[in-house]
Structure 1
């Protein structure tokens, strides 16, 4: 670029010399040929300058396009990042019922839970540990509910049995009273019709 500017300056300087008073006495044909050569040189330099300008504009446009694409990709990533951060915040703020469920303490869980539910791999994984504690709590509550239902049914059965015993005793007492009040029928008269 600097060489081209120097070449242009030299060509223009030579053209100025041709029109200066020092060259008035020179052969006009020789000056015309020399001037044509200098103008041709200037035109060539101008074409080269235009070609270089177009090449630089193209390179600049390509670089700008690439930079715009990169910027667009960055904006998309930032948008995605913000979206994911909002989703993470929503998940962190989500109040699940499991947070309000009274669970066995961690020590009680370690003592009472089955071995496969409290292995080292589970204890080192907080998520799996919470899942196992919740599952254990559910199983214990179901077992407790079954025991309560069983005790309730046993109490109901005992109550029914005692009422049956009371009824049986009352029936026996009534039978005894009936036997005392009504004289027994002799065995020989049982088959004879009762006169009506």
Structure 2
């Protein structure tokens, strides 16, 4: 494939075209010189023809230099533009990589949150249907708001039960103290009753001894 077929830029093609014209004009001058040396043409006429061809060559060369200078400047501008574009692409690529890493990090965080075992899942709360039956005002709430409301309701219920439990504990402690006092009183009464019963047994024995003695005395008198 010829170089002209590989180059598609109009400016570079014009440079190649101008170079081809200058080359062809140079070949024409060389042919003209060879013809002059091989023929007996008039020297003045030959110089005039050669001068015309050289002027054409100079014109082609001047055009070629101008186009070459313009092409060089264009190449420099293209290189600068390419460098700037490459720098911008590198910057965009770096940003893309950073976004990719951030996306992967966020996906990992989302997966961790989705797999996280929340404490509220272990709380034996009432079912959603039972909650909505008791609190119909949450019928249009989102799943998140509904879950929060259920947790808050469970907390309120447990707080109320805890208060009732503490009140019952205090009442139990108070009743325990009362029972303790009553037990002490009963103990003292038992002790007093035992003393009283023991005293009654002593009196009974005295009367029994007296009755026996009186019976013996009666028998002696009768005899």
Does TM-score exceed 0.5, indicating one fold? yes
3-state SS of paired residue (1:20): helix
Contact 1:15 1:35 in 2 (8 A): yes
Unaligned runs of 5+ in 1: 182-196
3-state SS of paired residue (1:15): helix
Once residues 89 and 59 of structure 1 are traced to their aligned partners in structure 2, the CA distance between those partners, rounded to angstroms, is: 44
Distance 1:21 1:32, change over 3 A: closer
Once residues 69 and 170 of structure 1 are traced to their aligned partners in structure 2, the CA distance between those partners, rounded to angstroms, is: 95
Once residues 59 and 176 of structure 2 are traced to their aligned partners in structure 1, the CA distance between those partners, rounded to angstroms, is: 131
In the other structure, the counterpart of 2:111 is: 89
How high is the TM-score relative to the length of structure 1?
Answer: 0.72
Structure with higher Rg: it is: 2
1:43 equivalent in alignment to 2:60: no
Once residues 172 and 82 of structure 2 are traced to their aligned partners in structure 1, the CA distance between those partners, rounded to angstroms, is: 92
Contact 1:18 1:31 in 2 (8 A): yes
How many angstroms does 1:35 deviate by? 3.3
Contact 1:11 1:38 in 2 (8 A): yes
3-state SS of paired residue (2:117): coil
Contact 1:17 1:23 in 2 (8 A): no
Contact 2:22 2:60 in 1 (8 A): yes
Contact 1:109 1:133 in 2 (8 A): yes
The structure richer in helix per residue is 2
After TM superposition, the structure 1 stretch with the greater mean CA deviation from structure 2, 21-30 or 156-165, is 21-30
Q: Deviations over 1:158-190 (max 9, x none)?
A: 233234334335545666888997xxxxxxxxx
Q: Which fold has the larger relative contact order, with Cα–Cα distance below 8 Å and residues 6 or more apart in sequence?
A: 2
In the other structure, the counterpart of 2:211 is: none
Contact 1:8 1:45 in 2 (8 A): no
In the other structure, the counterpart of 1:158 is: 175
Q: How many residues align?
A: 176
Unaligned runs of 5+ in 2: 1-9, 37-45, 200-223
Contact 1:4 1:45 in 2 (8 A): yes
In the other structure, the counterpart of 2:23 is: 12
